[in-house]
Copies of this chain bind each other. A is one copy, B any other.
Amino acid sequence: MSQALRVTVWNENRHEQKNPKVKEVYPDGIHSAIAGFLQEAGMIAGTATLDDPEHGLTDEVLAATDVLVWWGHLAHGEVQDDIVSKVRQRVLDGMGLIVLHSGHHSKIFKVLMGTSCDLKWREADEKERLWVVAPGHPIAEGIGEYIELPQEEMYGEHFDIPVPDELVFTSWFEGGEVFRSGCAYTRGSGKVFYFRPGHETYPTYHNPAIQRVIVNAVKWARPVRRERPFYGNAKPLEQIGGK
């Protein structure tokens, strides 16, 4: 744990090019904003975007990534399947994955979950309050009883995901819905955390409490140092049939 975590923040980076409002909130892109506060937390954080060669996720980058952060929305379909397969394999081999907001519909999240990952949604500048429902979870470290966001996109239940291994946050929305907004999973030797907030037109990733959750989540998702299990034909460890 003494070594700095190596994080890659992946962003589709399209809204920032198209929508002046988003550009204003995140002048250097959502990826840079997130990488910035991860670096301030002592991590080695690089970025990668959809339009980079191989989406910026070359074998070298993936091999040198302890935890991958994912933000995508408009262009999930443009992410190449072979890159998704490589990312998935890295997760099964132990790399952590933090999926943010509209990443619920990314190929990588859906393939790891096995479900549609559908939900209800609404853009109405409404209040969200994320309640901590797992008070002893390391992802909630330093967070009060809830995080209040004055304006966010609404995501509502039913959220079509497998039952989370650990549910850390549940959101209240002004318009009357609730949402499981902080969901932890293991897949293979890797850990996955889905964190709901972060609509591109709001300054959500500038919120210190939101930043703290993402920092905590990256730490929680770090790879555990052990060999991946052996799979396949196995010799017996004990005599069989008295032979």
Contact = CB atoms under 8 A, between A and B. Distances in A.
Contact of A154 (B111, B140, B234, B241): B234
Given A125-B241, A180-B133, A189-B136, A160 B235 contact: no
A227 B145 CA distance: 8
A51 interface: no
B120 A234 contact: yes
A84 to B, nearest CB: 12
Contacts of A131: 156-158, 177-178
B234 A158 contact: no
Contacts of A236: 122, 124, 126, 154, 174-176
Interface stretch (A25-33, A56-64, A65-73, A164-172): A164-172
Contact of A118 (B114, B231, B241): B231
Interface in A94-133: 94, 111-116, 118-122, 124-126, 129, 131-133
Contacts of A137: 186, 224
Interface of A: 1, 92, 94, 111-116, 118-122, 124-126, 129, 131-138, 140-145, 154, 156-160, 162-163, 165-167, 170-178, 180, 185-191, 223-238, 240-241
